[in-house]
Amino acid sequence: MGRRTAWWRARAWRGRPSARLRVAAVAAVLCTAAVPASWPVDAAAAAASPSSDGPSAASTYAFAEGARSVVGAAGTADAQRIEAGTTYRSSLSKGAKVYYSLELDAASNTYVSATAVPRPGAKLSVTDGIRVSVEDKDSHSCSYESATFGAAMSPHPITAWGARTTSPASPVCQGAGAYYVVVERVGTVGSSSGAWDLELTTATEPALKKAGSTSSPEVWDSASPTPLPGQAKHSQGGAGFSRATAVGQGVWRADISPGQTLFYKVPVDWGRQLSATAELGSGDGGGQGYAIDALAMSLYNPVRADVAEASVGYDGKQKSASLSPLPPVEYANRYAATAPVNVMQFAGSYYLAVHLAAGVAEDFGDGPFGLTLRVRVDGAAQDGPGYAGQPVPPNVFEVTAQDREAAAEGGSAGGDAAMKAVAAGGIGAGTLVLVVLGLWTVTARRRARGVV
């Protein structure tokens, strides 16, 4: 395509000046409109260089479009800075421990997430995973969390997070200055040597205008919610956090294949309570056996902190996995001693990641299998805590009218938007072509009459 375009332009350039102008203008417009800026980048094409995990090493995770490349350093002295509101792409070798730097103020809370993505076909152990921590310049640990792949040992995206908070209850890591994000690959005995891709995000939360309660709510409805009944609507999940399909309360139907992870995002306002159940449909009766932790569902909050998980084995008959009861979203939940209460601390988009283990294919075929997701959001929305400034990125801790509309529709992640962009781009480009040709015609006629 590139060589043909160059040849066409070369021939056009040998024409009259007016023809050269017309052809160059039209060519520029058509080239600009050929691929819309918002067109989703294919995950396989965007993957990093192949690793030793085999020929199918391309990642199936959809990294954020426009993510910046950053290299994790072996020590703090060479750590590259990452900024709030920007998504980064990096990598993590077997046994590696890498550092990234942050420059923080004294008032804001800062949250960092790292999503590790092994290549399809990678060999993993039960303890394989990542550890994420935030440290100050004196090596004090502000926080740390680990995430592993579980008993199924199926390659899929896993996410861990770290935080620097300014709460008086945390005497370390106070004050402005340099901090460091540390990402470590752990439990690597028996796993394959290929590097994992990383997606890094950072968000900041401003202080409150007026200090509130520093104790978590003691009473909330902790009874197991009844899965939402009703006829399912089709809504295919996205391939990553940035491509997550927006869904609201309802019953949603999708297809999922062994080794695949589907991402959904659910807007949850202050004061509202989320529950979710994932159901894997029965097979066609052609397989026998049992796949441990075949269907796994993980819930993450707006800064991608792990909230809760549920999993179930599969024997070819329909199975379901439900999240444990979760509290309503409240700012004061952060003062609770344990999860999931202390991570239900923000309004915004909560992410459901549903994974079907690669091992399911061994006994029950390549699928796809029917997946039903039942989402319930109870309670009345309340006012937020009243922030003294704006978070970064904007709107991360709130539910917008656009969020509600997208969730109600349950549209595909990026697919509908991409087609609309193509349509808009095509119409816009066509209109621009007509405008250019019209201007050229008017100019030519004016010149023919001797008018400039």
Domain 59-210: which topology?
Answer: Jelly Rolls (2.60.120)
For domain 222-383+392-413, the CATH architecture is: Sandwich (2.60)
- The stretch 281-289 carries a mean pLDDT of 78
> What are the percentages of helix, strand and coil residues in the chain, rounded to 5?
20, 30, 45
Res. 215 pLDDT band, cuts 50 70 90: confident
Q: Which band of pLDDT confidence, cut at 50, 70 and 90, is reported for residue 159?
A: very high
Domains 59-210 and 222-383+392-413 share a fold: yes
Question: Does residue 435 sit in helix, strand or coil?
Answer: helix
Report CA 219 to chain centroid distance, whole Å: 32
C-alpha span between 326 and 222 (Å, rounded): 7
Stretch 384-409: mean pLDDT: 95
Least confident of 13-22, 209-218, 337-346, 370-379: 13-22
DSSP code, position 343: G
Sorted by where each begins, the domain ranges of the chain are: 2-39+418-448, 59-210, 222-383+392-413
In whole angstroms, give the CA distance from residue 167 to residue 205.
12
The model's pLDDT over 177-191, given as tens digits with 9 standing for 90+, comes to 999 999 999 987 778
**What percent of the chain has a predicted confidence (pLDDT) above 90?**
67
Q: Write out the two tokens for 250.
A: 């309802």
Please state, in angstroms and as integers, the Cα–Cα distance from residue 121 to each residue in 18, 54, 368, following that order: 58, 7, 18
Distance CA 306, CA 352 (A): 10
Between CA 356 and CA 311 the distance in angstroms is 10
Contact 191, 94 (CB under 8 A): yes
* pTM exceeding the 0.85 threshold for the entire prediction: no
